[in-house]
Chain A
Amino acid sequence: MVQIKYLLLISRQGKVRLMRWFGAYTSNDKTKICRELSTTVLARKAKMCNILEYQDHKVVYRRYASLYFVCGISSESSNELLTLEIIHRYVEAMDSYFDNVCELDIIFNFSKAYEILNEVLICDGSMTETSKTNILKTVASMDALETSDNLDQVLS
């Protein structure tokens, strides 16, 4: 089981590209976590393991090209190895959606990145869908609905 407390996408320059908090955090806490984790994670060498202990919980991260995907997970029950797979599944989904995703795609289309994430993780950060096909199908249908709404408006 994995319960994700938060997911941060941090660029190699230490800029936050996306953040999602599954639970109530004060804005001070959020800023602190972002700042501390970007320093810690960026300072780690490639050969080091992708798991670290932070505050009272664990953090699992993985680097894809210029972006670090950083997940805070509850310490006791969460499976660290599976967290890496969840991150990977999310990246795969984005990769298919954007057709070879890059950092710029996520910067300019952050709402799409959020929408995809919402189909993978729900409520307190539990996984709700494991099939990449299903995830993409849902997001695509919702996009289609938007376009048709747009069309309706133009026609009327």
Chain B
Amino acid sequence: MGSLRTFIKDVRGAKTLAEERSIVTKESARIRTKLKDDHLVPDKRRKNIQKLLYLHILGEKTHFAQVECINLIASDDFRNKRVGYLAAMVLLDEHQDILTLLTNLLNNDLNHQNRYVVSMALSTLGSLTSPELARDLYPDVENILARSTDEFLVKKALQCAAKLIERDTTLLEIFYPYVGSILKSRQLCTHGGLLGVAKLCQVAVSCRSRYEYDNYPEILQSIVHKIPEFFSILQDMNSTNFSAEYDVSGTCDPFLQVELLYTLRLMFELAPQETAQYKNKLNDLLTKIATDSAGSKNSANAVLYECVRTIFALQLDQSLKVLGVNVLGKFLSGKDNNTKYVSLNTLLRVAPQEPKAVQKHKMFISRCLSDPDISIRTRAVDLTFAILNETNMKELMDELVSFLKLSGEQEKDLIINVVDQLISKFELYAVESEWWVIEIMVQVLKIVGQHISFDKVSNVIVMINNAQDLDHKTRLIHETLELSLGKKEEAIDGDNLGWKLLSVWCIGEYGDILLQRNMFLETELTHYLCLVNGIYSENTKLISYTLTAALKLSAKIQSPSCVEDLRQLINGHSKDTNIILQTKSVQYSFILNQPASQRHDILGAMPLFERSGKNGNGSSGSKPMVKPQEQNLLLELLEETSTSNGAAAGNNSETLLDIFGNGSSDGASQLLKSSTKADPIINIPQDSVETYQSDDMQVFFKMASMVPGEAHLELYVRGHAQISNLQVLAAASKTQKLVMGNLSMASIAAGQVCRQELKVSGSGKLKFRVKLIHEGPSGLTTDQFDHKFDQSL
């Protein structure tokens, strides 16, 4: 059998993966047989374990030889011990049963006269501490701390002690006095020793809740008393002279500095009362480090970063927080991506607390939006939204739009996230100029329309529809369509369906104005619709918009050939496999055959479109409602579903509204059922009962008709003041099924009356809880009342 070196060479020399595998499997099998041999000489045993370690690095299984590591540790030869301990640390973990075999060996070696053997035993115990090992071996570790004057062993024993306490908190009582004794000893208090002391302090404060004995206050007190010593150590390290041994590009031992800062942070965080007296000193120290620390090296930044984390974790003084934000701002202005990353991450957490201080650095944040690194860009986007407010909105929105321009295909999620947040910010803040919003949104559509859902595009369409200034609107649409029709150098991506949807809608809705002003030719617009119809036949939503646009455009153009093209476009879908498109096509052909004057009425301009969701008229009522035990909960729930339902229905009715515009004709009246067509005047019938009265309204209930098992009810609302966006929600008892019918009007003037129909089926007493949501003179109000009829079903 060859040496380890030959084995490694063989593996590396393998030409194919299969060859490598066969070498590895053979060697693994050979090691297995060798190790089974009880008479194998220790030297051979060691070599086999070394090979085993190599197998482990290759990702092979090594479980069969775990016991062998322990046999090697038992050897007296230092070489064997060394490999044995290494293998134990690398191959085993604290959950293995064979650890019990280690107890005695470790016990011996922790008291070995050779310091390196002791050190290996400490390291191994530290890596593999189980609660049992901790209980059995703590006296040996304590022995080292109490007696040894060897800094090398003490630093490891301290780390090991911290780990033992973590496994068995009661040991804290044994080990805590060594924090003081080590700090006192000049010889032992080296950087390595201090790292161990810090670790011990961290464990001591963080195991507070798990520690069972009642002497914890004393222990904590003795640890907390060491805070001034940590202060002075940190101060010394930040003074000018320090040994070159600990210099890391101009900073004195950043590892120890960070460890001490973290220890202090834990102490102040977990024992706020006990440490209160040192808080001012801590402020001074952190201020000093944060202001004095110079240099742009990573090592210096690591210490600064820890300072900032401490400041925000402990919620220190305002001035320190501002200082902290400024340090992070400085990080952003640098070139190093890692410092930028941690800075953005921290600023994100800090922005809600210190919005003003963070906003000061918006220039650098915006710069990160164009960073080549995606993880930096993502965080910069989040942070930009976090600091966005009414005053800096314009500026930051422009930055975000240019960010979108740079974004690539593979960042779809990020783009969607940005667009979502953009829209929600526009809703959150009142923007003076609606055109600015529209222009931004159109621009966003142009850049990343392929990633934007049609719902969002509908939002933009509604914004354009509702905009008042016709000249401005025409200009915008002109530009939009010039792009779509390929009249500009810029080309729109074929995948950009959002943009296509917008263009198609614009043609249908504003075709007449565009033609009047000679912006486009009839053939161009017709051709575009036919083109979209041909290319995107898979996309139902886009095609149904196209159908509507074709119908509308047909009423606005003169050229018979164009009209014929559009007619064919519409008729082409009369046998569509998609039922929605088919229905549309058939209905539209019907409308196309109406006389011109009627057609013109149907296809007039769209009215101002009220946002769906706010008014749930009609559509909210069509959902059956069942009353459960917890009425209020249900009502909340119903409200949710009915609004979302309203939103969904709103989208459908949008296309309906699209068709019918203001007027309606006999030919299409069947289609109008779901829209809100109402008698202008409703009177409250004599036989209704008044059930509720508030400042805004008076409510009456009437039993319209009743047969066993079913009842029709009517609810009348008389406005005392102007009421808009009225929404009626009702719940009946559990044994009944309630169907909400039409609401005659969602907005009523003072003195006017509207009617809500209800249908109940089932059995039992007729009891209702009714909730009325509306916008009255005092804003959005909700009224609620219960009513019980004498009759039962």
Contacts and interface: CB of A to CB of B under 8 A. Distances in A.
A146 interface: yes
A47 B159 contact: no
Interface stretch (A64-72, A93-101, A137-145): A137-145
B171 to A, nearest CB: 14
Interface string B192-214: 10011001001000000000000
A149 B298 CA distance: 43
Given A47-B372, A48-B337, A81-B305, 20 more contacts: A1-B259, A1-B306, A19-B57, A49-B375, A81-B302, A84-B302, A85-B255, A114-B90, A126-B195, A127-B259, A128-B196, A130-B246, A130-B253, A130-B255, A130-B256, A131-B245, A134-B152, A138-B119, A145-B78, A149-B78
Interface residues of B, number: 71
Nearest to B331: A81
B306 A79 contact: yes
Interface string A54-90: 0000000000000000000000010111101110010
Given A114-B90, A126-B199, A128-B156, A146 B78 contact: yes
Nearest to B126: A123
6 contacts: A16-B57, A82-B258, A111-B86, A118-B123, A123-B123, A145-B116
Given A50-B337, A122-B156, A130-B191, A34 B59 contact: yes
B127 interface: yes
B192 A142 contact: no
Most buried by B among A27, A85, A86, A132: A85
A126 B375 contact: no
A126 B203 CA distance: 13
Interface of B: 5, 8, 12, 50, 53-54, 56-59, 61, 77-79, 82-83, 86, 89-90, 93-95, 114, 116, 119, 123, 126-127, 129, 152, 155-156, 159-160, 162-163, 191-192, 195-196, 199, 202, 245-246, 248, 253-256, 258-259, 262-263, 298-299, 301-302, 305-306, 309, 337-342, 372-376
Contacts of A23: 93
Contacts of A2: 258
A122 to B, nearest CB: 5
A114 B86 contact: yes
A127 B298 contact: no
B127 A22 contact: yes
A80 B246 contact: no
Contacts of B129: 123
A80 B298 contact: no
A123 B160 contact: yes
A153 B254 CA distance: 44
A31 B298 contact: no
B375 A111 contact: no
Interface of A: 1-2, 16-25, 27, 30-31, 34, 45, 47-52, 77, 79-82, 84-86, 89, 107-108, 110-111, 114-115, 118, 122-124, 126-134, 138, 141-142, 145-146, 149-150, 153
B293 to A, nearest CB: 13
Contact of B155 (A77, A108, A128, A132): A128
For A2, A30, A45, A122, the residue with the greatest tally of chain B CB atoms inside 10 Å of its CB is A122
A92 B608 CA distance: 71
A139 to B, nearest CB: 10
Given A16-B59, A122-B126, A134 B192 contact: yes
B338 A84 contact: yes
Contact of A127 (B5, B255, B338): B255
Nearest to A15: B58
A82 B12 contact: no
Between B58, B258, B306, B372, the greatest number of chain A beta carbons within 10 A of the residue's beta carbon is seen for B258
Given A85-B255, A122-B126, A115 B86 contact: yes
Contacts of B160: 122-123
B116 A142 contact: yes
Most chain A CB within 10 A, of B8, B302, B306, is at B302
B155 to A, nearest CB: 6
Contact of A80 (B61, B259, B338): B338
A146 B163 CA distance: 29
Given A81-B302, A123-B127, A130-B256, A108 B93 contact: no
Contact of B159 (A50, A107, A123, A142): A123
B193 to A, nearest CB: 10
Contacts of B245: 131-133
A122 B159 contact: yes
B59 A131 contact: no
Contacts of B56: 19
A136 to B, nearest CB: 11
A141 B150 CA distance: 15
A118 B338 CA distance: 27
A49 B338 CA distance: 5
Contact of B94 (A24, A85, A132, A145): A24
A86 B255 contact: yes
Nearest to B253: A130
B341 A80 contact: yes
Given A16-B59, A21-B93, A85-B255, A130 B192 contact: yes
The 4 closest A-B pairs by CB, nearest first: A123-B126, A49-B337, A1-B262, A81-B302
Nearest to A113: B57
Nearest to B124: A118
Contacts of A150: 79
Residue of A30, A49, A123 contacting most chain B CB atoms (<10 Å): A123
Nearest to B163: A123
Nearest to A107: B8
